Amino acid sequence: MAQHNKRLLILLLVVLAAIAAGWWFLAPPAPGPLRLTPAKFSELPGWSQSDPRAALAAFRRSCAVLKAKPPLSSMGGAGYAGTIADWQGVCAAIPEGASSAQTARAFFENWFVPVAVSAGGVRDGLFTGYYEPQLHGSRTRHGAYQTPVYGWPDDLVSVDLGLFRDDLKGEHTAGRVEGHMLVPYATRADIDAKGLSSAKVLFYGDDPVTVFFLHIQGSGRVLLDDGSVARVAYAAQNGHPYTPIGHTLIARGALARENVSMQTIREWLKENPQNAREVMETDESYVFFKEEPVGDASLGASGSENVPLTPGASLAVDLRLHPLGAPFFISANVPDPDATKPDRAFNRMLVAQDTGGAIRGPVRGDVYWGFGKDEEEIAGRMKSHGMLYVLLPKPVAAKLSPHMDFPESTK
């Protein structure tokens, strides 16, 4: 009997561990106020072996934006990063052509202090990935090219709520004007059913599932049927909240929580075409795009900071809390492109240059991986817990107390 009970206890522990792992895969990061705790570079896991040259190049692009802003304006977020002037001196000190990882590390060490980010004292956070997909499209509707990708509708009004109330900084909504009222815009289901006469069709995709994932990723490259290549980037959103359809599929028993990834969701949609549209429409959010030149093919489309994203060195963060243009250091894990191989350690400097509807919370980040098959594999399966540090200019960090909380970040 004792042996039987022992086996039951072991089985129970295994089940609980599996449930916990599955919950972590989709769970939001721990709630709590943004807490900042000054640290040292020696405390950053793997810092002395890291290569921040790509992050330094990304930071240089962010500095071009920061240099053009009024010096006394805030860096944004919860306000902990000081003013633009606090950063312009750092930007002016960027070395020309950092030829080695050591030179890049020396720059960050000379000018910044790493600050540990936590949610009410909880250091563990959630880190995911995104990428730039490729679609097949046509400027005209014919054959398989039936799914429209729209530009910004003429009747869509995007509202920055922070312009009206300080406690809503970083919050946005959208709608359309009806009489003297701003009313909700059409949902994904409404647009799928009726189309949008108020929006220009940029192109028609040959696969509704691929277009849906374009909405999730926020940008993509389009191989048109005339042989040309175009790039589309995020322009606006319909104001409805983003709902991960992975949650929908779990709730319906279609996928097990521990098996959910971009790859398994896409596979389910492909294998269940009769239900795919209805499942995708449980996400009422709908994204509108703008066309951009491909330009430097090694870089991505412009992010929220309006600079091209750098693969493996650009990060999407919660802009209610964190400032665009700031360097961040992540210590987490990343999947190998070969799904049969174990995850690898990911200790890397990145720069906050983007945001997203699912990026909420102090210790939360979405790593931009770029364009390509391996990048898609990594981004689609990346769901890692880890730690986050923000780098602040030394004079700004000197103003922080040993543990500084920002309770307004919990709104």
Q: How many CA atoms lie within 13 A of 153 on its CB side?
A: 22
Give the residues across from 138 on adjacent strands.
204
Residue where the block lists tokens 């599929």: 249
Distance, in Å, from the CA atom of 118 to the CA atom of 388, rounded to the nearest integer, reads 8
**In this predicted structure, what is the pLDDT of residue 25?**
39
Confidence of residue 277 (pLDDT cuts 50, 70, 90): very high
Confidence of residue 407 (pLDDT cuts 50, 70, 90): low
Query: What value does the mean pLDDT of the chain take?
Result: 90
**In this predicted structure, what is the pLDDT of residue 411?**
34
Confidence of residue 2 (pLDDT cuts 50, 70, 90): very low
Residue 348 has pLDDT above 80, yes or no: yes
**In this predicted structure, what is the pLDDT of residue 151?**
98
Mean pLDDT for the stretch of residues 53-59? 97
Residue 404 has pLDDT above 60, yes or no: yes
Residue 28, classified by CB atoms within 10 Å of its CB into exposed (0-12), middle (13-18) or buried (19+), is exposed
Residue 118 has pLDDT above 50, yes or no: yes
Residue 23 has pLDDT above 80, yes or no: no
* CATH number given to 29-243+283-410: 2.40.40.10
Distance, in Å, from the CA atom of 185 to the CA atom of 286, rounded to the nearest integer, reads 10
pTM of the model: 0.88
More confident residue, 168 or 271: 271
Confidence of residue 410 (pLDDT cuts 50, 70, 90): very low
Mean pLDDT for the stretch of residues 265-276? 97
Mean pLDDT for the stretch of residues 48-56? 97
* pLDDT tens-digit map of 199-214: 999 999 999 999 999 9
Residue 259, classified by CB atoms within 10 Å of its CB into exposed (0-12), middle (13-18) or buried (19+), is middle
Which tokens is 397 given? Answer: 């960090």
Query: 352 near 77, Cβ under 8 Å?
Result: no
Give the residues across from 368 on adjacent strands.
130
More confident residue, 326 or 403: 326
Using CA atoms, how far residue 194 sits from 140, 186, 190, 241, in Å, is: 18, 10, 6, 20
Share of the chain above pLDDT 90, in %: 83
**In this predicted structure, what is the pLDDT of residue 31?**
66
**In this predicted structure, what is the pLDDT of residue 236?**
96
Distance, in Å, from the CA atom of 314 to the CA atom of 278, rounded to the nearest integer, reads 33
**In this predicted structure, what is the pLDDT of residue 26?**
43
Confidence of residue 29 (pLDDT cuts 50, 70, 90): low
Q: Point out the least confidently predicted range of 8-22, 69-83, 117-131, 157-171.
A: 8-22
Mean pLDDT for the stretch of residues 147-157? 98
Residue 379 has pLDDT above 60, yes or no: yes
Share of the chain above pLDDT 70, in %: 91
Q: Where are the domains of the chain?
A: 29-243+283-410
Mean pLDDT for the stretch of residues 181-194? 97
* pLDDT tens-digit map of 214-225: 999 999 999 999
Distance, in Å, from the CA atom of 240 to the CA atom of 244, rounded to the nearest integer, reads 13
Residue 289 has pLDDT above 70, yes or no: yes
Degrees to nearest 5, angle at CA 398 with 393 and 399: 110
**In this predicted structure, what is the pLDDT of residue 8?**
37
Give the residues across from 54 on adjacent strands.
none
Mean pLDDT for the stretch of residues 154-161? 95
**In this predicted structure, what is the pLDDT of residue 99?**
81
Distance, in Å, from the CA atom of 86 to the CA atom of 69, rounded to the nearest integer, reads 12
Q: For the range 303-307, what are the long-range contacts, defined as Cβ-Cβ under 8 Å and sequence gap of 24 or more?
A: 303/353, 303/354, 303/355, 303/368, 304/353, 304/354, 304/355, 305/62, 305/65, 305/352, 305/353, 305/354, 306/65, 307/58, 307/61, 307/62, 307/64, 307/65, 307/353
Give the residues across from 401 on adjacent strands.
none
Length in residues, the chain? 411
Distance, in Å, from the CA atom of 191 to the CA atom of 292, rounded to the nearest integer, reads 24
Mean pLDDT for the stretch of residues 40-48? 97
Give Rg (Cα) of the chain.
22
* pLDDT tens-digit map of 62-92: 999 999 999 999 999 999 999 999 999 999 9
Residue 14 has pLDDT above 50, yes or no: no
Give the residues across from 266 on adjacent strands.
none
Confidence of residue 28 (pLDDT cuts 50, 70, 90): low
Mean pLDDT for the stretch of residues 138-166? 95
Mean pLDDT for the stretch of residues 14-27? 37
